[in-house]
Amino acid sequence: MKVKAVLKGDRLYFTQRIVLKTSEVEVDVEVPDEAVQTVEPKGFSEELRSLFKKTPNAKVDWKRQWYKHLEEKYNG
């Protein structure tokens, strides 16, 4: 059966007491175009990779480079 509801903000309130037989209901609405996005989601690694402006030209030995940095920093 049809019942009336009032839209307040993004909530719908029924105007009479009802018993819902399911925890989901379908409502016929129009979704504005700007709400629909079809951007392909990036993976975690890709997202983080995209945050670096520079990348090394060749494969780096990270431990060696870190120790070199420490030596330069503390040995002057």
Where in 33-72 is the site for other proteins (CB under 8 A)?
Answer: 43-45, 47-49, 51-56, 59-60, 62-63, 66, 69
By the 8 A CB rule, do 12 and 3 touch?
no
Q: Among 45, 63, 2, 56, which residue's Cα sits nearest to residue 27?
A: 2
10 touches other proteins (CB under 8 A): no
Query: Based on CB atoms, which residue is closest to other proteins, 4 or 36?
Result: 4
Mark residue 11 as left, alpha or beta (left: phi above 0; alpha: psi -120 to 50; beta: remaining): beta
Report the interface residues with other proteins, using CB under 8 A: 6, 8, 11, 13-15, 17, 20, 22-24, 43-45, 47-49, 51-56, 59-60, 62-63, 66, 69
